[in-house]
Structure 1
Amino acid sequence: MNNFKNIVILFTIAFFASCSNTRFLPDGELLYTGGKVKIEGDSISRNEKKELKDQLEDLLRPKPNSSILGLKPKLYFYNLAGEPKKEKGFRHWLRNTVGEAPVLFSQVDRQYNQDVLQNYVENSGYFNAQTASDSTRRNKKASVVYTVTPKKKYIIRNVTFPDDSTQLAKDIRDVTRRSRLRPKQGYSLETIKEERIRIDTRLKEKGYYYFNADYLLVQADTTVAPHQVDLFLKIKEETPDLAKKQFRIKDIVVYPNYTIQNDSVRITSDSIVKHNDFTIIDSENLFKPRIFDRTLYFKKNDLYNRTDHNLSLNRLVSMGTFKFVKNEFKVADTTGNYLNTFYYLTPMPKKSIRTELLAKTNSANYTGTELNINWSNRNTFRGAELLTISAFGGMEVQVSGQNNGFNVYRVGTEASLVWPRIIAPFKFVSSSGFVPRTKATIGYEYQERRKLYALQTFKGSFGYLWKENERKEHQLMVSDITYTSPQNVTQLYRDQIDLNPSLERIIEKQLIFGPTYSYTYTNTMQRRKKNTFYFKGSVDFSGNITGLLTGADVKNDKQVEIFNVPFSQFVKIENEFRHYLKLGKESQLASRIIVGAGFAYGNSEEMPFIKQFFIGGTNSIRAFRARSIGPGTYDTSTNTGVFLPDESGDMKLEFNTEYRAQIYNFIKGAVFVDAGNIWLMNDNPNKPGATFSKDFLNEIAVGTGVGLRFDFSFLVLRTDFAFPIRKPYLPDGQRWVLDDINFGSSSWRKENLIFNLAIGYPF
């Protein structure tokens, strides 16, 4: 009851504070509270009225001061700050950054808004509409109501396209099959503009380089019948001759060492190289000519088309070798309709070194730092190859908690070489605007967990990366090898193995090799869409062919070894799906589901520990410590060891949903719910309740919480407070713990409230 009283008092204070905003207005001024649109008349349906009303109200200017639940907090802070004496300091920040100046009624131009509304309804086909406006004043506030009386919408009766015998007119008629202007559709000026752009786009694919949408004219005849209109699409008489011609490609000239500062190139006789259809002018002989064969789509005598134009530019940019890419077309000085095309390319610095110092923390109460040093060569063998050599080192320390003192140290190095082409015994043809790549990587890492053990890991991979378009991406690693070997295992850790035998798997020697493949689809870059998606599916094989060759697929009592190390055999599949629902200009509902399963066979009884699934933590179920949930209903608190081990499983199911909204400028808020768990495929006597069964839905962990996101454009700093509302390790019937929530209890907060600090969104 006391809490309710406090809430009432708080809202009362805020209400009166909001009302007091009018006290600060200049003499004779009124606070503008907004405009409304009323649609009158019986000429259009109720649904048309509602849709038209929403569209028209969005056009009204100016917008009133922003409000929350009818209150205007930004205006209140503006008035609270008063007139600052200096152009800096707290008052200046509060007034001009946090606050918002009052929108005055004197700033409203009613006639201008009426004209805007009138133009919009007529451009939407409601000809002969009428608009009027009236203001309402109360105390020191004012609003405006705009009344629009539309007539019946005009419908397209016929559409006529150019019918003369010119090639341009013929090509326009050829692209009308998917015209946006069709009989029985409502008249719309916006649709007419879209149709002109559509036709221009199609003509660009047919060689009309100099054509422009402005050269098309659409005339409307509204006298043909009541509330009907005939449209006539014509080519303007003033259209220049160049715009009416189709062009083919003649000479293709590439300047791969162009200096944009001087806007010039140095040409000598030995700097000109003829290669197939290209003329390459490279005074320093920086690049092998063949890279342009694989990058540029135009060939001599090709009909100009905008697709090949854009794909060539996209490929040059996506190579990651050139800082600036400039393309120019000029009419060739020959008989016939030909274009010479020129590519001016400014290379990035060939060699560079980058150093990164990172600070990090996680929900397991580990904090630490990491140093990365990367050296790159962007044109290693004169074929735009990217060679990267990196070294890294870092440490993680738990300041407080059960793992205090078991610090983690890691150092390592990695070298990778990326070729801007597919190196394979078969021919790979891509019509994408993204250059396909071949990547080879080799690396080493030494990780020490103080007082327990150390691990040495060697990795090597070779495979291909290619994108069909900006939405679809593939990655196929033909060979992906990992070898892990334990070092310096302490007696303390061996004693823990006696208490928890599953810990022995962490320090087993592991040899994993085989192909991996992943496919990614996303349209999240299309910001205007209400619904956007992200999907990533991956499959990981290990030892499948080797198992057939060595006979490991046939179950034996003894594992087959390579270099005295048993190799792993498994199939792992993982799918991640995200959905983003745009609710408003600055709000959305983001959801994610992850489903994964791993199956060990042949030479392996269990999945390798590093290939198993984990759950919990800053990017997973945030109400639980990282890697602390499951498997199944297994209770990690039964571990009698001196530290908390990471829990892993062969199957994973995870759901997340998060409502995101802007609170103020760069500060965004979130309310989220996370759920999921992991399970083992086979029974483990040391982990009761860990096996996947038909009751898996009853074993789901659920957490919820709130968070803030500080979007600094170059990074997003995320803070989340989360707590569990369902604990799968409790007895059946007692797993929902909503009744136990008590924010006023320090013991409850210590046991349940989790703070997450991270960079970027969780998904």
Structure 2
Amino acid sequence: MRNNLSKITLLFVIGTIIYSCSLVKRVPESEKLLVKNEIYINDKLNKEERVNNLLVQQPNTKFLNYPFGLTLYNAAKPNPDSSYQAWLNKKPNRIKRLNRLLSAKQVERLGNSFFVSGLPKFMKETGEAPVIIDEKKAERSKERLSGFYYNNGFIRNKVTMSIDSVGDRRGKITYKVVTGKPYFIDSIFKFIESPVIDSLYSLEEKKSFIRKGDQYNFTNFDIERKRITQYLRNNGVYHFQESNVKYDAIYNDSIQKMNVNIKIEDRLVKKDDELIKRPFSIYKISQVNIFTNNTSKKESNQVNDSTTYKNFTIYSSGKLKYKPKAITNAIFIEKGNLFSDKDRTLTLKSLSNLKVFNYPTIEYIEDQNDTTKTSLIANIYLISKPKFIWQPSIDVTTSDIQEFGISARMAFTWRNLFKRAETFELSARGNIGSSKDLANPNDVFFNISEYGVEAKLSFPRIVFPINTKSIIKKEMLPTTNANIGLTSQRNIGLDKENLTGVFNYNWIPKEKHTIRFDLLNIQFIKNLNPENYFNVYTSSYNTLNNLAQIYNVDPTNLENGNLTTEGAVNFIDDVQTGGTSLLPSDPDYKIIRSIGERRERLIENNLILSSAITFFRNTKANLLDNNFYSIKAKIESSGNVLSLIANTKNEPLNENGNKTLFGIEYSQYIKGEVDYIKHWDFGKKNTLAMRAFAGLAVPYGNAQSIPFSRSYFSGGSNDNRGWQAYSLGPGRSGGINDFNEANLKLAYSLEYRFRVGGNFYSAFFADIGNIWNVFDNITDKDYTFNGFSSFEDLAVGSGIGFRYDFDFFVFRFDLGYKAYDPAREIGDRWLKGVNFSKTVLNFGINYPF
């Protein structure tokens, strides 16, 4: 034992030395690898991310406290081309032998191959070069620290910096900041030369971000400059710029206070060879000209067609292709109005929302005919997109059900269909795929096929019999969409035909808010092959077949001792009609009845006609913003209109005692759900992401359950990653069905994402949630939500994920484990599924939320 301990200790010491040496492999002898930054604020160590991020140089990124990126970079050959040439010339006859075996050109190209030069290049690009301490950069960091505290009110701060050695070719940088006392704003004075500006400023002075008594903060001054500029430019002051707002500060060091002067001088105008001052003026719009079908502004005078409509003049270099109202309705710059940046921005957004023009541009020129010199002519240049577009495409896809798929699509787009900027799209698509979740007796790889056609018509306005402009204004950029589609799904399964139709409205009530109102959403699902049910849902079949071996079964239902698919259906009927020895009180009777009820539910045809309203808010500023939240809330109601129609037709009830329409039982339910996502940016490309979801669908009236297409499932790459899709729940039932679903879902996910090195990222995650049956025809307490006690059935999945960022998309795979499995007995649920052999692999494109 003592010898083994000595060997282990020796190996550990040798490994530590090798690891230690490998980190500084590419560090020159006279340099130091930066291993640590320390910032002391008033003699206290500061670990705030926002302060540390000010430093120009940061140590190499670490994963689990190990610099994988640096190690990968160091492992790459520094000069693979030179190494290859040295290898070629190491032996006199090596080049000759290779030239006889290949050719001189191929031998030369071998030096550019992936394994010779490509792999080292990839390792360098993916890894991280050693961060070598640079004294000049450290001085810049020192200046940035001083500037940061200066901008936060510590005007007389002092920053010192020292570089210390912490081992062989390793060093750390220590920054010490003495902030001093903060300075406060004592008095505020204004100096405004133009009377027009002074008058406008006085109206909004109370909204200033610079307030007496506040601690000095540069950000407030910058925001105030932007506020003043925005306010003035939205109220006619055309020539005003941010640079016209200046500040002077007078410091009183004895009491740490400052007096602030806000200065807005007259604008400078070039006259001949000198600059003269001229007061600012308020400008009005005297003309609005619209130029269409042009390729550049230079063609604005090459017009063949023109028209005047509601104070707008529309020009065209060819015949005008649009009805005037279609264009002018999207324009907020109007004759007689004050110049406004807000109107310009709204016009650009609205014109882009028409989706028939490329990058609209707007220019303002001073109207030379106005003797007061306070008028502007607005010229709007519109370049039409192609009227017709033919778009073929092919994609490789993956999903929770389909492990691999190939889809092809042909789409035809017709813009400006009725000359009012409408867009019509007709598309056809086909898909073949592979799924291990479906029965596949012939072991065919592509065991899923689907094809369909879809037509979409989009209007850049609200299409409704009643005028809605007083409620949904054109500033909200409303659109109306009408879609209809037919798909036919031919799998080794039930096979389905699916007819869908949607008529909805979308608008933006204010910035970062979107509302969608589905006036009509119709779906008709027809199962073409219901007799194949037990070939698809093999778990249900196996359960029935095992029970059939125990209880007396009609021999005509068997073949080679096993139930036929038709015999499985007959066996269920025999059990429920007393044809076997099973009694209703027996547990196996309940299992068989449950399988029968589920089969009836999944093979039935569905007719769904619903209306829904969805609210969405997203605070994400841009693609690089990792500090935001989004919330999506939806309420959906189905079946009420169909119920009114059914009452007028008086069709006979079906075998379930429910009403039908055209011979089909229609669905009736109300559904609500909330989806909340929050991201926190910790700097250095480290992010904490959270998602919370709750959804409930309640059947009523003509329904005792929710259609499969509108129900919830749990598990999969975008849900609880410790379980495969559809394999978790409901409740504590253990996911015994092939596709488990229910009408109540709760889910919560937390994921910490961090950079490993280069474009490689990783994440630790925990997913909590489950699905339950509630307010429907399921009564088994293992499946249903039973109040607070059911929170014990919340499953916990956890694991680690690996991602590679290709810039335009992120490829990821997550290793999920069942940390808490509600299908087990209480007391035996924790960490029984945390085993490498029980890893659940989840592949996906982009982040799960």
Aligned-pair distance for 1:203? 0.9
Larger radius of gyration: 2
Instruction: Give the one of 465, 485, 488 matched to 1:443.
Output: 485
Equivalent residue number for residue 591 of structure 1: 690
Whole-angstrom CA distance in 2 between matches of 1:687 and 1:635: 13
| 1:157-196 map, 5 Å | 157-162=186-191, 166-196=195-225
Whole-angstrom CA distance in 2 between matches of 1:529 and 1:14: 39
Say if 2:757 is the partner of 1:664.
Answer: yes
Equivalent residue number for residue 467 of structure 1: 508
| 1:32-181 map, 5 Å | 32-33=34-35, 36-40=38-42, 58-67=53-62, 72-86=67-81, 88-105=117-134, 107-108=135-136, 115-137=143-165, 139-162=168-191, 166-181=195-210
Whole-angstrom CA distance in 2 between matches of 1:400 and 1:440: 34
Secondary structure at the counterpart of residue 380 of structure 1: coil
Equivalent residue number for residue 746 of structure 1: none
Whole-angstrom CA distance in 1 between matches of 2:709 and 2:51: 58
Whole-angstrom CA distance in 2 between matches of 1:22 and 1:466: 58
Equivalent residue number for residue 379 of structure 1: 416
Relative to 1, partners in 2 of residues 1:714 and 1:161: Cα closer, same or farther, differing over 3 Å?
A: same
Secondary structure at the counterpart of residue 197 of structure 1: helix
Whole-angstrom CA distance in 1 between matches of 2:9 and 2:756: 20
Equivalent residue number for residue 253 of structure 1: 289
Aligned residues: 737
Secondary structure at the counterpart of residue 505 of structure 1: helix
Say if 2:517 is the partner of 1:482.
Answer: no
Whole-angstrom CA distance in 1 between matches of 2:455 and 2:694: 32
Secondary structure at the counterpart of residue 648 of structure 1: coil
Relative to 1, partners in 2 of residues 1:530 and 1:612: Cα closer, same or farther, differing over 3 Å?
A: closer
* 8 Å Cα contact 1:376/1:386 also seen in 2: yes
Secondary structure at the counterpart of residue 822 of structure 2: coil
Say if 2:816 is the partner of 1:722.
Answer: yes
Whole-angstrom CA distance in 2 between matches of 1:530 and 1:351: 38
Aligned-pair distance for 1:612? 1.9
Relative to 1, partners in 2 of residues 1:683 and 1:133: Cα closer, same or farther, differing over 3 Å?
A: closer
Partner amino acid, structure 1, of 2:20: S
Instruction: Give the one of 768, 774, 781 matched to 1:681.
Output: 774
Relative to 1, partners in 2 of residues 1:8 and 1:724: Cα closer, same or farther, differing over 3 Å?
A: farther
Whole-angstrom CA distance in 1 between matches of 2:382 and 2:231: 28
Partner amino acid, structure 2, of 1:757: F
Aligned-pair distance for 1:227? 1.9
Whole-angstrom CA distance in 2 between matches of 1:526 and 1:230: 37
Say if 2:638 is the partner of 1:542.
Answer: yes
Instruction: Give the one of 349, 359, 364 matched to 2:386.
Output: 349
Q: Deviations over 1:1-58 (max 9, x none)?
A: 999x9999679736643345446544544445565444459xxxx8xx959x976654
Say if 2:691 is the partner of 1:651.
Answer: no
Q: Deviations over 1:241-264 (max 9, x none)?
A: 67711111111111121214x853
Partner amino acid, structure 2, of 1:156: I
Equivalent residue number for residue 630 of structure 1: 729
Aligned-pair distance for 1:99? 3.6
Say if 2:5 is the partner of 1:13.
Answer: no
Whole-angstrom CA distance in 2 between matches of 1:488 and 1:132: 79
Secondary structure at the counterpart of residue 530 of structure 2: coil
Secondary structure at the counterpart of residue 490 of structure 1: helix
Partner amino acid, structure 2, of 1:449: N
| 1:557-572 map, 5 Å | 558-572=657-671
* 8 Å Cα contact 1:249/1:302 also seen in 2: yes
Relative to 1, partners in 2 of residues 1:14 and 1:296: Cα closer, same or farther, differing over 3 Å?
A: farther
Whole-angstrom CA distance in 2 between matches of 1:403 and 1:688: 33
* 8 Å Cα contact 2:68/2:757 also seen in 1: no
Secondary structure at the counterpart of residue 490 of structure 2: strand
Say if 2:299 is the partner of 1:264.
Answer: yes
Whole-angstrom CA distance in 2 between matches of 1:174 and 1:352: 52
Equivalent residue number for residue 848 of structure 2: 762
Say if 2:435 is the partner of 1:398.
Answer: yes
Whole-angstrom CA distance in 2 between matches of 1:120 and 1:609: 57
Relative to 1, partners in 2 of residues 1:215 and 1:524: Cα closer, same or farther, differing over 3 Å?
A: closer
Relative to 1, partners in 2 of residues 1:156 and 1:111: Cα closer, same or farther, differing over 3 Å?
A: same
Relative to 1, partners in 2 of residues 1:692 and 1:553: Cα closer, same or farther, differing over 3 Å?
A: farther
* 8 Å Cα contact 1:560/1:603 also seen in 2: yes
Say if 2:615 is the partner of 1:519.
Answer: yes
Moved more, 653-662 or 357-366: 357-366
Relative to 1, partners in 2 of residues 1:209 and 1:243: Cα closer, same or farther, differing over 3 Å?
A: farther
Equivalent residue number for residue 280 of structure 1: 314
Moved more, 466-475 or 402-411: 402-411
Aligned-pair distance for 1:178? 1.7
Whole-angstrom CA distance in 1 between matches of 2:207 and 2:664: 63
Aligned-pair distance for 1:442? 1.1
* 8 Å Cα contact 1:613/1:678 also seen in 2: yes
Relative to 1, partners in 2 of residues 1:6 and 1:93: Cα closer, same or farther, differing over 3 Å?
A: farther
Equivalent residue number for residue 697 of structure 1: 791
Equivalent residue number for residue 674 of structure 2: 575
Secondary structure at the counterpart of residue 239 of structure 2: coil
Say if 2:461 is the partner of 1:421.
Answer: yes
* 8 Å Cα contact 2:705/2:776 also seen in 1: no
| 1:328-347 map, 5 Å | 328-333=363-368, 334-336=370-372, 337-347=374-384
Aligned-pair distance for 1:686? 9.5
Secondary structure at the counterpart of residue 172 of structure 1: helix
Aligned-pair distance for 1:725? 2.6
In structure 1, list runs of 5 or more residues that go unmatched.
744-748
Partner amino acid, structure 1, of 2:722: A
Secondary structure at the counterpart of residue 504 of structure 2: strand
Aligned-pair distance for 1:332? 0.9
Whole-angstrom CA distance in 2 between matches of 1:624 and 1:723: 8
Moved more, 550-559 or 603-612: 550-559
Secondary structure at the counterpart of residue 89 of structure 1: helix
Aligned-pair distance for 1:71? 5.5
Whole-angstrom CA distance in 2 between matches of 1:133 and 1:402: 69
Relative to 1, partners in 2 of residues 1:117 and 1:434: Cα closer, same or farther, differing over 3 Å?
A: same
* 8 Å Cα contact 2:677/2:692 also seen in 1: yes
Secondary structure at the counterpart of residue 299 of structure 2: coil
Relative to 1, partners in 2 of residues 1:417 and 1:396: Cα closer, same or farther, differing over 3 Å?
A: same
Moved more, 562-571 or 68-77: 68-77
Whole-angstrom CA distance in 2 between matches of 1:575 and 1:98: 41
Relative to 1, partners in 2 of residues 1:364 and 1:120: Cα closer, same or farther, differing over 3 Å?
A: closer
Relative to 1, partners in 2 of residues 1:292 and 1:582: Cα closer, same or farther, differing over 3 Å?
A: same
Relative to 1, partners in 2 of residues 1:20 and 1:607: Cα closer, same or farther, differing over 3 Å?
A: closer
Partner amino acid, structure 2, of 1:669: S
Partner amino acid, structure 2, of 1:603: N
Whole-angstrom CA distance in 2 between matches of 1:626 and 1:732: 24
Instruction: Give the one of 480, 495, 501 matched to 1:454.
Output: 495
* 8 Å Cα contact 1:352/1:377 also seen in 2: yes
* 8 Å Cα contact 1:436/1:467 also seen in 2: yes
User: With structure 1 as the length reference, what TM-score do the two structures score?
Assistant: 0.87
Relative to 1, partners in 2 of residues 1:267 and 1:26: Cα closer, same or farther, differing over 3 Å?
A: same
Equivalent residue number for residue 301 of structure 1: 336
Relative to 1, partners in 2 of residues 1:32 and 1:505: Cα closer, same or farther, differing over 3 Å?
A: closer
Relative to 1, partners in 2 of residues 1:287 and 1:221: Cα closer, same or farther, differing over 3 Å?
A: same
